[in-house]
Structure formats: structure tokens, C-alpha cells
Chain A
Amino acid sequence: GAGVSQSPRYKVAKRGQDVALRCDPISGHVSLFWYQQALGQGPEFLTYFQNEAQLDKSGLPSDRFFAERPEGSVSTLKIQRTQQEDSAVYLCASSLVVTGTGFSYEQYFGPGTRLTVT
């Protein structure tokens, strides 16, 4: 079946522009995660959805970052008034929550969106 897809794959934005990054998770996956990965670093958690509910947004670096998943499938990460420090790869991951036995730790990642703010 299809994996996690993200679009666009590359985005160049001028400082101050708004951007929207899209994630299509694996069909049927309840959990969806967004990560930010700076060059030479591991992914850093941004936010987590279970279906349409955003259960954790503790990793969002500022109020310029906003994520939504209105119908519990596709998710959009929006960054307003982009700054140079927002330049990074934004990764989306989904996982199948195993009910009754806890969470499924395995997360399936999309290829990421490389955002460059000039």
C-alpha cells in the first residue's frame, strides 16, 4: 500500500511569507506526528494528533506554527511569517495505535519537506 506522502518536497520562501506543508498519512493510521529536523540533527517533535484531536503541541517553537487535521486523515502544518531559523526539513509520520495494549511505537515517515527561508 501507499506510504506517507508529503508535499511539496521542497519549498523556498522569502522571510515573512506564510507556508503550508501537507501530509497524507497511511490510510487507517490513527496517530500523526510532525517533526522538525535541522541539518545534522535528529528529528525534533513538534506536535501529535490522534485522529482529528491535537493531543500535544508542546514542541511547536512559536505561535507562528499551527497544525491541523480536521478530518482525521490529511494534516497541514502552517508556518506564518517565516523566519530564517525555520529553515529545516519537516517530517510527518503516522502510526497505527494498537488499542488495548498501548501505543504502537513504530512510526512511518514521509520523505519530508525541505523548507528554505531566504
Chain B
Amino acid sequence: DQQVKQNSPSLSVQEGRISILNCDYTNSMFDYFLWYKKYPAEGPTFLISISSIKDKNEDGRFTVFLNKSAKHLSLHIVPSQPGDSAVYFCAASPLGGSNYQLIWGAGTKLIIKP
């Protein structure tokens, strides 16, 4: 069973508009969430994270929102740029002793159209 789900395999957005990537999770014990970005033939690169004690974290063009009651988080990119075209992974870390172990979604491929 997938504990972290990214239901959209791909998303196409016009350059300059807002990109919204979604992630749902099932385990209420997750207490820290991360977004990673991956270009082809490269490893994932950390983008932004959020602790479960917050509902929003912002870093430049990237904002992550967390809705604990809905077990849902989203990544907003505004304005979207061509270099944002990549696969975006949502990952979660469970509370407790094994909090180093990240549980990953399947990824969403973001395509920014010029």
C-alpha cells in the first residue's frame, strides 16, 4: 500500500503561470515532509520542506502548504519557469525512531510550456 501518493503522473503549465503539485498521505504519524526535484539522469535534489507543526513554508518562488486534517500537501511554484520542468517527488518522514527513513511518492512530471 502506498503511504505517499502523487496521483498526477504529469502536469503541463504555461510559463509564468502557477504550478500546483499535489501529494496525499495516509499515515498520520508522518511529521516532516519534503519536496525533491529530479532532472533526467541526475539524482533528486532537495527543494523545500515543512514540519507538521506548520501549515505553510515559503522559499522564493516555492511554497509548500500542509493540510493535516486532509493529509494533503501541495507545492506551489509561481511564476513557473522553463527550468522548473522536471519530476517532482513528495517524501515523508515518520515520527519516531526511524525518522531518517523517507517514504516517497511516485513523482509528478512537470512540463513548463514556453
What separation, in Å, do the CA atoms of A103 and B49 have in the docked complex? 14
Using a Cβ–Cβ cut-off of 8 Å, how many residues does chain A contribute to the interface with B? 24
Q: A102-B99, A103-B100 are in contact. Are A42 and B107 (CB under 8 A)?
A: yes
| CA A103 to CA B93, docked complex, whole Å | 11
A111, B32: Cβ atoms under 8 Å? no
- Least CB distance from B83 to A in Å reads 18
Which of B34, B44, B98 lies in contact with A56, CB distance below 8 A? Answer: B98
Which residues of A in the span 69-94 have a Cβ within 8 Å of any Cβ on B? 91, 93
Provide the bound-state CA to CA distance between A103 and B34, in Å: 14
**Residues of A with C-beta under 8 A to B34:** 105-106
Give the complex CA separation of A112 and B42 in angstroms.
Answer: 7
Whether the pair B32, A105 counts as a contact (CB closer than 8 A) is: yes
Interface stretch of the complex, out of A12-20, A43-51, A60-68: A43-51
The closest CB in chain B to the CB of A37 belongs to: B104
Most buried by A among B32, B36, B100: B100
Count B interface residues, CB 8 Å.
25
Q: Which of B9, B43, B46 has most A Cβ within 10 Å?
A: B43
Residues of B within 8 A of A43 (CB): 44, 89, 102, 104
Residues of chain A in range 23-56 having any CB-CB distance to chain B below 8 Å: 31, 33, 40-45, 48, 56
Give bound CA distance, A105 to B106, whole Å: 19
Please determine whether B43 and A42 come into contact, CB atoms closer than 8 angstroms.
no
Q: Is the CB of A106 within 8 A of B106?
A: no
Given known A-B contacts A4-B43, A43-B44, A93-B43, A107 and B102 have beta carbons under 8 A apart: yes
Q: Find out whether the CB atom of A108 lies under 8 angstroms from the CB atom of B46.
A: yes
Which of A31, A93, A95, A107 is the most central at the interface, judged by chain B CB atoms within 10 Å of its CB? A107
CB distance from A44 to the nearest CB of B (A): 7
